Every structure is written in structure tokens, then in C-alpha cells.
Chain A
Amino acid sequence: MSDADLKKSENCVPPPVFRHLRGYAFDPSLSLQLDTALVNEAVFKIRWEKNLQPGPVGEYLEIVDYDPASKSFYAPVDLNNPHILAQNGLAPSEGNPQFHQQMVYAVAMTTIENFEKALGRKALWASYREEDIPTENGKFRKKIYNDYIQRLRIYPHALRQANAFYSCGKKALLFGYFPATAKASGNQIPGGMVFTSLSHDIIAHETTHALLDGMHRRFIEATHPDSLAFHEAFADIVALFQHFTFPEVVRHQIAQTRGDLTSENLLGALAHQFGRAVGPYGALRNYIGTKPDPADYQEKVKEPHDRGAILVAAVFDAFLAIYKNRVADLLRIATNGTGLLQPGAIHPDLVNRLANEAAKTAQQVLTMCIRALDYCPPVDISFGDYLRAIITADTDLVPADEAGYRIALIDAFRRRGIYPRDVRSISVESLCWKKYDKADAEQFKVLERIAGNLRVFVHQLGYLDEIPQNIFDRFREIFYKEAGRTLKEPTDQEVEDHWKNEMNEREKIFVLTRTVSWALHNELADYKSLYYSDPDSEEFINFEKATGLYFLESPQKKAAVKGLEVNHGKFIFEVHSVRSARRVSPDGNILNQIIISITQKRRVRLDKDKAEPKFDFRGGCTLIMDLQDLSLRYAVVKKIGDEVDDAGNFVAFNERLTRQREFRTGGEMSLRATYFGKSEQNETDEPLALLHGGF
């Protein structure tokens, strides 16, 4: 059909809401088992993308199938081909590379949609990247890029190894394939090929890495035993709860387990085929269902995937508790009040009802987990911080926890030994981040300035068709100078045309965000000249205290922030991100928020007694502002400074700094690092690639 024909037909038939694509609910191995074969072929309902190109190449993704080890490219699938459209996509097949492309597209899009739903905004990929440019003297120099990245690239057959990873440097997912080991167990043919790009869990996992990096790019820095583990855990949580989006699978598993999801089942396991193929241990990361032992988290387990598995298990425990609670009445109804099921298969109606509850609960827990990302500190995250973020985010949106979700989560985390260091008791109130109300906010005139800028931002977000006049010049600068699109200064008309005709919604949001970050930075940096000549004024000190950061230099502050760079009396800082979020609670509560992250770094000694080597110690805060009145609601703080007394004399090192020193020197190091060194390059180059031969 030609474009013109399509246009014509669009006039009478609106475009469909969904594109249906067939794929594996888990991975190909389960299609070889009689009991799971039927449910393993699922239909993914993907948001219809109007201009989806062969690849598929759409708004968010760009699938390019190159297999360098085989010196082979594979033709891109055209999902708009009528023959493919008419049969809900290509049939699942291991031997057809076009199906692999369809599969990665379907799962990655599902994951993106889950994120957007939970966060209430469009997903953006990380724009920041560094490149090592070879110089004449044989060394490398770092070049930093910060351009808009419209699409995440996906290479379904990039590697010949039992691995898949998100490449921060390429903004791409690289999937590997490999022959199963000779002694593979289960239904894996020894030597048969295993494709990571056919595993729902692995695709969802890697896509989540990319989404998380798009929000929190400092989370890939290993500053805490939990930091890389968190990346892994979060990616697994998303993969795991997405299992529940396939109704047939859930019904099937509910029937098999007679509604008892605590027993071993497919829903709670990750990457079967991969796990079996690389060794005799079945699915990967199965802390799920194990007896909680606080020592695992607190002392024993350090490897990021394994440590992450503890967090995954905690969240899954909570899910199970909530599910159990929610279906208790159904079971009583079905059993004349005894709650004890008769032996044998359970009634299909009961299966349906239980499956519904399981799916609903899973979706809610997943949403809670994703939403919490907005309430995380911008740097140095620990599992305890994450728990606080989940609880705060949920309290904010659903003030009354009638279904006991929060209690279930806190309890599950506590059983696995995960709780924050800085709270006195583990109750909902004490776990919530420090809350500010209007009265507090009014103390901070500086917040008024921030609010002023945010108003513009919010307004523009609402009218993306209009070119933002008030920040026009800055926009022009970003788009024409920094991005190097043209050598000639564009006319106003050209800028406007570009905005209107060439940029899509996500790119506009990206530009607006960049612009408002810049404006906020200017406001904060100019604060001294605008308002105060005294950096030690109470008002300003209060603001610095609330953020845990330092903005204006004074002799009083010197001892606290050794290694923090100063420029004309102002400490260097970065407006790390600005995001908006719109959320609707189950009871119709609407929450509109703006989330700002500000970060700082100090160049500090690795060993406090030795001048060299040094490393970057980061601090930062996430300010959550209410959009209604633009007041500060929460400040999530990772302090940058050391402890000082009232006179500004040094008292003790920042506790996090001491911990990071220990972590960096005595901490865990892989065998690879033992041999290949902990060079700066090894640290920054693809931190997620080499965690281990896993994914």
C-alpha cells in the first residue's frame, strides 16, 4: 500500500492502538516441553507505532542485525508487511533471524511502556557518553558528548559468548549467542545454539539497564557494594514481573501450582535456558523462594548479580505476601471457609480469578518499584535507600495503605537484612524521606527562583507545539552550536521551523530539559550576585544544609569540602537532571511533580594519608517539588561535605567517603581486575559488560 493510500484509509479507519506480535513468553526451551509449549508462545500487545520502519526501526528502538563473528548481516524485518501484519508477526522460530528481531523489538517495547506508565512521562535514553580519542602521543583523551539519542540500538547477534549487555558507550544492547555446554542438562541439546536475544528475561533485563541509565547515569559507578548490584536487581525485577503480563502463562502456572505461587514455578524464575545452558543450576539467580538470611546481604554476598538477587528476592517475597493476602477470601469462598483446597485440579473459574489477582498485584508492585526511581538519590544508591524511595513514593501517591503493600515490602526487606543505616526504626513514617511542607519552603527564597524556572518548564511541556520563546536563545545555542548541526547561524525562522517540523515530542522534551537545567544552574550560580553578599547567611546555609551541597564559598566551609572546585567564589556543581512526573493513584489521586537532581564532586585522596592516587567522590540531592504550588516536598540527600563543627573546623570524614575508600581499596575485585588492572579505562569502559559471563 502506498503512503497516499494509507493516508486515505487513515481518514476513515483510525490507526490501531496495538500491534500484536508473537513471541516467546520465556525462551525457546520451554516450547520443547509438552506442558509449557502452548503457553510459551505469547502475543505481545505493543503500542502501535505509526512510522515503524524495517529493522524494526521505530521511535525508541533501532534493531540492526549484524553478527561480526560470522561476518554476516541479516535482513531487517518489516513488521508492516501485510503478510506479517495479518498473522500477528512472524511465527516464533530459532532459525529465522527476522523473528529474533521481532522478538527483541516486542519485549523491549513492552518494557519501555511499563516504564512510561509507571513514571508518567516519556522515556529518554542516556545522552551522556565519553569517547576515548587517540591522540598523537599514543594516549587517549576523553571527549564528552551530550547529544540527544533518539533510539536505543539493538544488536541481536553481536557476540559469540554467553553474555548480553547494555553498552553505555554505544547506547546499544548487545546480545550474544553460544552453543550449550556439552553436559547441558534438561531439554537443552548439547551443543545446540542458545540465543540470548530470544529470552524474554534477558531482553527485558538489558532494556531496563538502558532505561535506568537514562534516568540515573551515575548508578553505573561502583561506589557501594550495592550500586552495580542495584542495577542488576532492578533489571531482574522488571523482567520478573513482566512474566505476569501474559494472561495464559499466569493462568497456566496458577493452575499448575493450585494457586500457590510460593512453590517452584516459571513465573518466579529467570532465564531458564541460559541458566541450564551454562551450567547445571537451572534458572539463574534463584534466591527466590530461599529462606531469608540477613547475613547474606549484610556479610556474605558481594558479587553484584548475587547481591542483586537478594533484593529481587525481597521484592518477590513482598509480592507473594500481598498476593496471598489478596486471594485469601477467594480461597475461603472456594473452600467453604476452610481455606484448604481439595486435592486435584482447581476450578477454572478460581484459576481465572486467582490469575487476575496475581497479574494485578504484579503490575502494582512493578509500578511501585519503577516509580521509586524518581525518589532515589542521584548518586551512591544502596538497597536501603531504594526501600526508602519505594515507601516514600507510595506514601506520596496512596496516602492510605489499605492493602498493606508498604508493610509487606518493609517486612520482606527486613527479613533479608536490608534496611537503611540512617533510620531509627523500620516503620513507614521513619522510612519516608524527610518531608518538607510549605512553611519550610518559604524559608528558602532560593527555592522561589527555582520555582520560577520550573513554571516556564512546565508550561512549555504542556505546549510542545510552541517554540519556547523565553528560552529561545539558549535553545538555539544547544541546537546549533553544541550539536554542530550547521556552521551558519540560523535565522529565527529556521529555528522555529526545525522545532515544528523536524523534532518529535521526545526530542523537544530533551531540549526543554537541557534548557531548564541550564537556567537553573545559572540561577543557583548567580545567587550570590542576585541576593546575598554573605555566603554564611542563615538562609543560604539552610539551603545548603537541605541539599547537603555547597554553593557559595566562604572560609567557614573550607575544611568541609576539600577537593571541591571553586570558580569565582562559587563551588562547581551540576544540575544533573530535571524530570516531570504525572501519576494517578488507584483512588484517582493525581500527583504532578518535578524532580530535580543536583550533584557535586570532590577530588579526594584514596588513602587519607597519601597524596596520590585520588578519586572523584560524589554527593548530590534529589529535590522533589510539587507542581501545584512548586513547593519542596522531599529532599533526598547524599551529603558531599565532611563533618565540621560550628566554627568550621574539621571533625571527621564524611561517613560515605570513609566507606567508599574502604570499598575501593579493600573491596571486591574480579579476577579480570586482578589481571587486567583497575585502570581508569577499565572502570569506565562498559561497566555492565564484564560483570561476568552472564547478563
Chain B
Amino acid sequence: MASTNKLSVRVRMYRQGLGDCFLLTFQRKNKADFNLLIDCGLYQTAKGKTDIMTDVAEDIKKDSGAKLDVVVLTHDHYDHTSGFTLAKNVFDKIAFKQVWVGWTEDKNHPKYGEIRHNFNMQADGLRAALKLEEMQTKKLEPLRNNINALVNEFFGFGEDTLGAVKPDSRTWDYVLKEKNAEVEACRPGRLMTFEGLEDEVRVYVLGPPENLDLIFKEEPPADLAEAESYRHLLGIAVAESFLAAVGGNGNGETSGRLNPKNFSPFDDAHKIKPSDAEAGASGDFFKKHYFGLKEDENKKDEFDWRRIDSDWLMVAGEIALRLDNGTNNTCLALAIELVKSGKVLVFPGDAQFGNWYSWKDLSWTVKDKNGEDIKVTTKDLLERTVLYKVGHHGSHNATLKTHGLRMMTSPDLVAMIPTNREFAEKSQGWEMPDKVLEKDLITRTRGRVIPADEVGAPDAKKHLRERCENAKENKLPKAKIQSFLKQVNFAGSFTTAGKDEPLYVEYTIKG
């Protein structure tokens, strides 16, 4: 790529499907480009994912000259990391200089043990729950599938190895160990730089928070709910007693951490075993009012519909959600500042409420032009944000309102959404992006939203223009729309059969 006088950064968003893969290329005068890769993954159940990710990796290799200066792994979810192993053959030929991860991967961090323990406990519990006999009914099939989908996203390697809890997953091993890169585990509040670009680019580490309460808080507390999230669902207060029951049922493996005895609501003296109840304990009470009388076989249906043998398992779905959300909150969230222009690019990974919310207390001290110390706050960074990588494919609780999007007041704000709504909707029934959020994004950017799944390529840019032109209020002037469209480029191609569309969309920001 031709070099220019000024620093500019080209943000290439791959269009592999539901998943994140961003190649940021910093172009400098008389120097090789600086290549930053943020995540590389595709959702577990996507079809042809090996071929697709190989196409993506080949493009990364070609464009970067097989050298990535920094690889950022925001968090260990399949849709953010699977590319490295799916296209291992290609990545084997690409050099990784540095790998950046969140502090949650640092075994020496004082809170490492606690956070792993929490994840492991929930994972064990879900694994046991999926194996329960009561769980195998037809009626619970959707629940089983949903839990499997979430748990697989988390573990990444299918049901048989559910227990393989990170950080020992294959991708993690590969990127962090096999690639022999220099690994940086980033704590919030840290200031990072790129080698050779120290004066031109600063990278501010926003998250993951070191306050674990915020990590396990996927949704805002009640008093902040309305101000903060686009939608709101109170988390489950307690999963442990459920998990203890699951482990204590004899079907799953007892994890040892959760002794069922601790969660038994009453003294054993009160207990009547189900077999005894069915056999006629308490003067046939349970026969008459729960099981139905054996002698009246054809009336059995009259009883079955009111039984509650498996209702208590429904909460496993919520626990799976919590686990998933907890991982999303371990995201390495970064703000990349182009020093000369003051422009900021925000890449929050899939950070959810707790992660976002922790940013507000951070500040950094940097030198200004004259070498004087100045303080930079999260507020400053958000106000100067010109590119926002929308979190979690645009789901409702991964973009904060007042402490997030509403603070991004730059007139040049553009949003990129790595999503594939057709896949999300059809295969999972998910709404990504969330409609309320999408509407707000369009308002805030005055139409300058770039979704990875923009339809109708090669006319994709037409849709971008229409979105700008259709703005109801505060419409961008024609010239501005033109210059925005000039900065956007759909290009590249897949070799994968049936993917006759551009491989990526890129957006270039002048420093």
C-alpha cells in the first residue's frame, strides 16, 4: 500500500459471518505498515467455517506481509478466536510479535484463582445438568440446545470435552504459547504503545475491570437500569444451590466445591424419598395428589400435566447466560488514540455492563505537545471517538447508554457492527443487532453505520448512502456523505463456494 505523509489507519472488518475479525493497518511515511489484528473468529455452528476462515487468514497474511505486530485476543469465545485454529495452516506462516490479552489470563494476578473458580463451578454444574435424566425430555429439548449453544460458545470444542475450561483451550494454547510471541496481560488503566509509533499512537486499556463484582454483573443494578442498558434483565441472584442439586443428583459428577448437604432446605428427618412417596407414604397423599393412582391407569394423564419434575431445571438456561456474560465481561477493551489528531477508536470486544461501567473511574497521565503532563479520562476518550466497534455484534446489553454511546459526541462518529443478522436470526433466533440500539447508533452517527453484513454488494455502498440520506433529523450535508463513502471500501473475495461477495469492508481514518 502506498505510504502517505500523514499517519492514517485502515480498519478492515472481515465479513466471515457472526464473529469478530479486525485488521488495523497503521500507515506511515517511509516505514513498513504496522499491523494490529483484533480477534479472529466465526460462530461455532456456521457452515464451511474452515474454508471461510482460511480465506480470511490468507488475506491477513497477504496484506500484513505475514507479520502481525500485535494480536489482541479480547476474550475466549469461539466467535472471536476460532479462526486461529480453523486456519492454523495459514497462521503458522504468520509471525506474531506481541499478543495482548486481559489480566484475567495472568496466572500471577491475585484474582486469577477466584475468577477461574467461579467460571469452573458454573461450567461443571451445567455439564452435570445436561446429563440429568429429567433433562432428557422432549419438552426440554430447546433448553438443552440453547444451553449447548452457549456452553459451546464458551468452551468451543463440543459436548464431549465440555470440561476443557480455558485457558487451556487449543486456540489459547496456540496463540499464547506455540506462536512464541511476547505476551502482555493488560490491566485497566495501563497505557500501551506500538513499537515505532510511540509518538503517534497511544493505546488506553479500559477493561476488563479488576473488581470481580463488575465482571459477574452482566446487567446494571436496578437504580441504573434505565439509564444504562438498552434493555434490562435482572440476573439470577444465586446459582450455587441449583448447581449443588445438580451435582448431588448422582448423575453428574460432584464437583466437590458444592456439597449438596449445604443447600438442603430441611433436616433429613423431614425427607420422604420419591420412591416411598409413590409407593404410598403419608396415607397415599402423594399418590392421590401427585403421581396418580396406579389402579386407574387411564387417568394418569390427568395427573402428569401438573407435575413439576423438571421445572426447576429451567434455571440452567439463566446460569448458562450468566456464564456467557461473565466471559464477555472479561473482554480486553481498548481505546486507540491517534495522537496528532486526537481521534480515538474504541474496541470493547464484547464487554457488557460491568466492564463498560468500570471505565468511568480510569485516568491516564500523558505528555502533551510541549512535554507537559496532562490527564486523560475515559470521558475525554469517548468524546473524541470517531470509530466505535459495536460490542457483541450489536446485542442489547453490550453497549452502554449514558456511560457509553451517549458520551461519544464527536461529529465524525462512525460505527462498525460485526454481525450477521440473517445467521443470528435463522440459526439461533437472536436479534443482533438489537433494534433499539441500532436506531440509536444511526441517530448518533447520523447514518454512518457500517454493518459487516450490509446486503446487496456490489451495491452495498448504496445502502450506506441511503442510510445517511434517510436520516430523519440532523442529516449530514451531501459533501460529508460523499467523503464518508469515499473512506469505505468493500473488496476482496472468498474462494469458498457460495460466498460470492466481498471478503471485507474497510474504513480509513486520516490521523
Contact = CB atoms under 8 A, between A and B. Distances in A.
A160 B431 contact: no
Interface in B91-144: 134, 138-139, 142
B494 to A, nearest CB: 28
Contacts of B325: 671
A627 interface: no
B273 A71 contact: yes
B266 A671 contact: no
B338 to A, nearest CB: 34
Given A281-B221, A676-B146, A174 B308 contact: yes
Interface stretch (A151-159, A512-520, A593-601, A632-640): A151-159
A62 B270 CA distance: 20
A74 interface: yes
Interface string A134-178: 100000000000000000010101111111000101111010011
B329 to A, nearest CB: 14
Contacts of A301: 226
A396 B180 CA distance: 83
Interface in B229-271: 231-238, 240-242, 245, 249, 260, 262-267, 270-271
A64 interface: yes
Interface stretch (A112-120, A199-207, A580-588, A662-670): A662-670
B396 A75 contact: no
Interface in A172-214: 172, 174, 177-181, 191, 193, 195
B221 A279 contact: yes
B11 to A, nearest CB: 26
Nearest to A193: B265
Interface stretch (B314-322, B410-418, B460-468): B314-322
Most buried by A among B146, B223, B260, B314: B314
A95 B432 CA distance: 47
Nearest to A670: B233
Contacts of B456: none
A129 B309 CA distance: 19
B231 A670 contact: yes
Interface string A210-233: 000000000000000000000000
A500 B235 CA distance: 52
Contacts of B308: 66, 68, 155, 158, 170, 172, 174
Interface in A650-688: 665-666, 668-679, 681
B225 interface: yes
A73 B321 contact: no
B236 A162 contact: yes
A675 B321 contact: yes
Contacts of B435: 665-666
A132 interface: yes
Interface in A65-114: 66-76, 95-97
A136 to B, nearest CB: 12
B55 interface: no
A161 B232 CA distance: 19
Contacts of A163: 315
A157 B241 CA distance: 13
Contacts of A55: 285, 289
A32 B308 CA distance: 33
B306 A153 contact: yes
B242 A669 contact: no
A673 B436 CA distance: 14
A191 B259 CA distance: 13
B459 interface: no
B231 A70 contact: no
B323 to A, nearest CB: 12
Contacts of A58: none
Q: How large is the interface on B (under 10, 10 to 19, 20 to 34, 35 or more residues)?
A: 35 or more
A387 interface: no
Given A68-B310, A158-B311, A73 B286 contact: yes
Contact of B436 (A66, A67, A73, A666): A666
A57 interface: yes
A112 B396 CA distance: 40
A306 B225 contact: yes
Nearest to A677: B429
A297 B425 CA distance: 31
A339 interface: no
Nearest to A184: B237
Given A70-B264, A73-B286, A675 B139 contact: no
B231 A671 contact: yes
- Classify chain A: how many residues form its interface, as a range: 35 or more
Contacts of A281: 221-223
A692 interface: yes
B219 A671 contact: yes
B491 interface: no
A278 interface: yes
A300 interface: yes
A68 B311 CA distance: 9
A416 to B, nearest CB: 15
A465 interface: no
A95 B429 contact: no
B270 A97 contact: yes
Contact of A178 (B139, B237, B311, B431): B237
Interface stretch (B64-72, B81-89, B192-200, B274-282): B274-282
A689 interface: yes
B236 A693 contact: yes
Contacts of B138: 134
Contacts of B315: 159-161, 163
Contacts of B221: 279, 281
B268 to A, nearest CB: 9
B306 A76 contact: no
A442 B266 CA distance: 66
Interface in B137-171: 138-139, 142, 146, 150
Contacts of B264: 70
A131 interface: yes
Interface in B195-223: 218-219, 221-223
Contacts of B277: 66, 73
Contact of A694 (B226, B234, B266): B234
B305 A170 contact: yes
Nearest to A70: B264
A692 B270 contact: no
B231 A171 contact: no
Given A160-B242, A174-B308, A689 B314 contact: yes
Contacts of B271: 70, 72-74
Nearest to B271: A72
A220 B399 CA distance: 30
B283 interface: yes
A73 B281 contact: yes
Given A171-B306, A693-B236, A693-B237, A675 B150 contact: yes
A303 interface: yes
29 contacts: A66-B277, A69-B312, A70-B271, A71-B273, A72-B272, A73-B274, A74-B266, A74-B272, A75-B285, A129-B305, A160-B242, A161-B318, A177-B265, A181-B238, A279-B221, A279-B237, A300-B226, A303-B225, A303-B233, A666-B435, A666-B436, A666-B439, A671-B233, A676-B142, A677-B430, A678-B429, A678-B431, A679-B142, A692-B234
The 9 closest A-B pairs by CB, nearest first: A677-B429, A278-B237, A69-B245, A73-B277, A73-B272, A162-B237, A671-B233, A692-B234, A693-B236
